[in-house]
Structure 1
Amino acid sequence: MPKTIAAEIPLRIVASFRRAFGQFLAVPLAVVLGFVLAAVLIYWADTTWSDGRVPSGFGWLGALLGDSGSLATLLSTVASSIITVTSIIFSLLLIALQQGASALTTQVTDQFLMRRANQFYFGFFIGLSVFVLVNLVTASGIHRPVFGTAIALVLTAVALCMIVVMIYNTIDQMRPRQIVRTIQRHVLAARTVQTGLLRRSRRKPRPDWPVVGTVRVEGSGHIVGIDADGLQGALGGLSPVEVELLVPLGRYLAFDERVAVIRAPAGEPPDAEAREKVRRAVLAALAFDDDRDLKGDAAYGIHQLATIGWTTGSTSKSNPDPVQAVVESLRDILFRWAAEGDVPSDPASALVIADAAPGEAIDAIETLILVSSESLQAQVLAEALRTVAALLPRVPEGWALRLVDVVRRALSSLGEHVLTRELEQAIDALAEALDERQHPEVARDLRVATARLASTLGALNSRSTRVPVQG
């Protein structure tokens, strides 16, 4: 085994545990530990019954539940019932999750696991089972767990009622629009985390500082974190340099791929030892993992939305409703980001990181325009074009240029469609938005293409000859 791969294994194990706790395990384990602590406290409270003392006002409870043998029998019945019900319910939930994943792709698993309610449900049922078993084990001739048994019965009744709520929530979560909206919320939350990183860096390198070194990764995986503060501190004690990351957060890199370049003032290049220190500082500041992290990587959520849109919008599923929900979510995301404006940068920062998330969202819209031509879903294309038309007057100039390029490229697929009224209205609105944003040439090309498509109405054409090719 190569040394570099062997060195990665402990780091990957730590990253896997960190990801597992961050996505799912933290809440269930906290709930289970809460039940264990409660069992310990209730055991101490039950010592009064074991000593032959009846707590004031609770004599009726001891008479109702009986002696230690009766309590042990009751707890044994409750424990077996809870464990059986828990295994059945969890199996049904996993089947529901599998059905949702088969309908929309495996992208649904992240949002299912990251829901706090789901985490609490899992922790509650497991914790309750542990709680009942602890009280069952302590029931003996010298210990009478009256309070523990009473609380176990009450919590069991709560658990049985909770099953109805849990089943409804699971079914509701598997609805395509609910899945899309949940991923959208995760994208917006990840953007907030990502914005903090971007504020501690700059968007563009200094144009008069040439490249004096290259940083290549010594392992492989997705970039899931950047310790900007640690890197700034490491660079502060060196000669003037800046580090430009060549790839965005979340990008996969193979062994020995370039991840960053080192820049320095012209005529003041750092020596070999200083460049090596910078290289080591950059690699130490980057965290890699086999999987992307939805909590801090907004582009990953965008990727999930685009994947759901492509799967459901193509002829693989031919279901226009989820893909329209994806387009609506992308529109809302971009409107919110546009309202915030470009992320401010730190002019004094020695770290250069490009803001790739808005471009990823625009590229996702372009992908959904393409898939609508493959499946002939004119309603999806109309929704996507209305989204572009609505965004053009509101977004910064750089985003607008990218949207205009999306329109120009989308013209290639327009001939696959029939010019429905909804599609024609969307195209007219888009052309007006292009004129308003001072892109009359693209608006003209769009109107010409629409006129050619309109000329085919009332004529019998196959899909491949719907719009005749000009000679």
Structure 2
Amino acid sequence: MNKKYIEDNKIAIIQRAFSEFLLLPSLIILFFLFLSYFTYSIDQVKIGWLQPVRLLLKNHFFSNSEATSSLLGAIVSGTISVTTLTTTLLLVIVQQSASSMTTQVFDQFLRRKTNQFYLGFFVGLALYSMITLATVNPPFNPVIGGTVAFSLTGVALYLLVLLMYTTIDQMRPSEIINAIHNRVLNARSRQLDMVAYTTIIKPDNNQKGKEVVTAKGGYLTYINTKKLAEFIAEHCRGSYIYFTKPIGTYVAHNEPIAEIVAPDETHIFLLAKEIIKQTTISVKRDLDQDPSYGIVQIETIAWTSTSTAKSNPSPGTFCVHTLHNILSCWSEDEPVEKDTLCGSIYYCDDTIDQLMRSFENLAVVSSESMQHQIFEAILDTFSKMLDRVPDQWQPKIERVILIMLSVMGDHVLTTALDNSLNTLAAQLRYLGEKETAEAVDIATQQLRNSVGKLNSRSTRV
């Protein structure tokens, strides 16, 4: 088992490398290989309508094979040197940014298509020039190949300028966080397509199900609920699947991910095999399928910048605003239109719970580092969103508010914090949540009593 597990991990690492970064550079390098063959063929055939152009280039730039060889040699050595130095510098920039913004920077840098294109272009150009250089052999003079190499070198030099700008631009906290934000929204759309084939209502029976366990450890990154629902409808009518782990959960080897309730053993055997086939376990969470992972990434960036490790409220505040926008976007989503086959698969979607936990955690870290700006931003988020979120989400927000009150004593009651608390209490009263509003009023008054007195965080309340 251990040997098979190691082999599976190696395959997964290779697949992840291509899905995250290597696919586009590899395709571009293959294009340059094809281009080298194409230009070599043109130089060999000497097409009639190209002859005037070829003679013009030969007379002014590529007079003989020695001149072409020297030019191509300079292009190859220069391209390799510049690419090496630039890549080293960029890695230093990324490393410096990661030291302040956590390792989430690496993930965003690798997944940017522009970064993949730049690397593939530089490596492909160097490889193209080397191949063309290898074909130079008097009396053969690759005029067309040399011209293409020379022209693309000019393009590459300009791309170096773009590469420097785009890399520095990508390292800005706002760009990193916004990139995660966009991927979270896209991942949620895909996740809702998966949820459409599931139900949150368990049948009211106490029948014990047959557990389905994983063959390897990792994160549950994908469940093809559509295929499972169709399989049950076609082969196992009357059977049910209960997924006990939401997307993004870590499961160890031989741990259960689902339970099967079926009328006979044949259905159980068939469904267990199909569940393993239609679920994906990976060594790393997948942001393209798991919006909760993106929320955790934003929370981690905010935690690192807000805590006493960095004490920088600006990125943390922007993270809270980003989570605010995510909550706002999801609040306006139409209810999931369930498929007719949804009743056979139970799945508990905990994405909103994860979003609320992130607000909780950031409130705690703002208290630890006495960053009242973060605390205010969270209060403002709830004040604006309480009357906009679906009714079933309001108790979750109220619970977070009550938890925040328990750590609020570490903050100084600034004017902005006082206004945020008063606005929140007024909004709660307007919505009829009098108990929570009263709790906010009492906590605010206790903190207000500390104003005008000499206090430390341990004696303020």
The two structures have a TM-score, normalised by structure 2, of 0.95
Does the CA contact (< 8 Å) of 1:306 and 1:364 recur in 2?
yes
Cα drift, residue 176 of structure 1: 1.0
Q: What amino acid is the match of 1:295?
A: D
Cα drift, residue 142 of structure 1: 4.8
Gaps of 5+ in 1: 265-269
Q: Distance in 2 between matches of 1:52 and 1:206?
A: 78
Structure 1 residues 54 and 408, CA, compared in 2 at 3 Å: closer, same or farther?
Answer: closer
Tell me, what secondary structure is at the counterpart of 1:225? strand
Q: What amino acid is the match of 2:216?
A: G
Does the CA contact (< 8 Å) of 2:239 and 2:267 recur in 1?
no
Gaps of 5+ in 2: none
For 1:150-193, what per-residue CA distance to the aligned partner results, in whole angstroms no more than 9, with x for missing partners?
11111111111111111011111111111111111111121122
Q: Distance in 1 between matches of 2:199 and 2:324?
A: 26
Q: Which residue in the other structure is 2:363 paired with?
A: 369
Cα drift, residue 100 of structure 1: 0.9
Cα drift, residue 103 of structure 1: 0.7
Q: Distance in 1 between matches of 2:239 and 2:48?
A: 77
How big is the alpha-carbon RMSD for the aligned residues of Structure 1 and Structure 2?
1.8
| Range with greater deviation from structure 2 (221-230 or 413-422) | 221-230
Does the CA contact (< 8 Å) of 2:187 and 2:289 recur in 1?
yes
Structure 1 residues 114 and 53, CA, compared in 2 at 3 Å: closer, same or farther?
Answer: closer
For 1:319-360, what per-residue CA distance to the aligned partner results, in whole angstroms no more than 9, with x for missing partners?
001111110110111111111144333353222222222221
Does the CA contact (< 8 Å) of 2:54 and 2:143 recur in 1?
no
Q: How does 1:15-94 map to 2 (within 5 A)?
A: 15-48=12-45, 55-64=51-60, 65-94=62-91
Does the CA contact (< 8 Å) of 2:331 and 2:390 recur in 1?
yes
Q: What amino acid is the match of 2:236?
A: L
Structure 1 residues 183 and 12, CA, compared in 2 at 3 Å: closer, same or farther?
Answer: same
Q: Which residue in the other structure is 2:448 paired with?
A: 454
Tell me, what secondary structure is at the counterpart of 2:332? helix
Q: Which residue in the other structure is 1:274 paired with?
A: 267
Q: Which residue in the other structure is 1:444 paired with?
A: 438
Match of residue 143, structure 2, among 142, 146, 150: 146
Does the CA contact (< 8 Å) of 1:173 and 1:179 recur in 2?
yes
Q: Distance in 1 between matches of 2:137 and 2:188?
A: 56
Cα drift, residue 207 of structure 1: 2.9
Q: Distance in 2 between matches of 1:52 and 1:243?
A: 69
Structure 1 residues 364 and 125, CA, compared in 2 at 3 Å: closer, same or farther?
Answer: same
Q: Which residue in the other structure is 2:227 paired with?
A: 230
Q: What amino acid is the match of 1:167?
A: M
Q: What amino acid is the match of 2:393?
A: W
Q: What amino acid is the match of 1:240?
A: G
Q: Does the alignment pair 1:283 with 2:276? A: yes
How many aligned positions are there? 458
For 1:57-86, what per-residue CA distance to the aligned partner results, in whole angstroms no more than 9, with x for missing partners?
432201121211211111011100000000
Q: Distance in 2 between matches of 1:98 and 1:221?
A: 27
For 1:42-64, what per-residue CA distance to the aligned partner results, in whole angstroms no more than 9, with x for missing partners?
11111145x99971243220112
Q: Which contiguous aligned blocks of 4+ residues in structure 1 show a shift greater than 4 angstroms?
A: 51-54
Structure 1 residues 281 and 128, CA, compared in 2 at 3 Å: closer, same or farther?
Answer: same
Cα drift, residue 403 of structure 1: 0.7
Q: How does 1:294-373 map to 2 (within 5 A)?
A: 294-349=287-342, 350-373=344-367
Tell me, what secondary structure is at the counterpart of 2:216? coil
| Range with greater deviation from structure 2 (381-390 or 208-217) | 208-217
Tell me, what secondary structure is at the counterpart of 1:215? strand
Cα drift, residue 196 of structure 1: 1.6
Does the CA contact (< 8 Å) of 2:195 and 2:225 recur in 1?
no
Cα drift, residue 391 of structure 1: 1.4
The two structures have a TM-score, normalised by structure 1, of 0.93
Does the CA contact (< 8 Å) of 1:204 and 1:354 recur in 2?
no
Structure 1 residues 54 and 413, CA, compared in 2 at 3 Å: closer, same or farther?
Answer: closer
Does the CA contact (< 8 Å) of 1:47 and 1:144 recur in 2?
no
Structure 1 residues 434 and 154, CA, compared in 2 at 3 Å: closer, same or farther?
Answer: same
Cα drift, residue 437 of structure 1: 2.9
Q: What amino acid is the match of 2:307?
A: S
Structure 1 residues 52 and 283, CA, compared in 2 at 3 Å: closer, same or farther?
Answer: closer
Cα drift, residue 317 of structure 1: 0.6
| Range with greater deviation from structure 2 (205-214 or 60-69) | 205-214
Does the CA contact (< 8 Å) of 1:393 and 1:436 recur in 2?
no
Does the CA contact (< 8 Å) of 2:33 and 2:127 recur in 1?
yes
Q: Distance in 2 between matches of 1:234 and 1:209?
A: 24
Q: Distance in 2 between matches of 1:306 and 1:53?
A: 62
Q: What amino acid is the match of 2:281?
A: F
Q: Does the alignment pair 1:293 with 2:286? A: yes
Q: Does the alignment pair 1:414 with 2:408? A: yes
Q: What amino acid is the match of 1:173?
A: Q
Does the CA contact (< 8 Å) of 2:197 and 2:229 recur in 1?
no
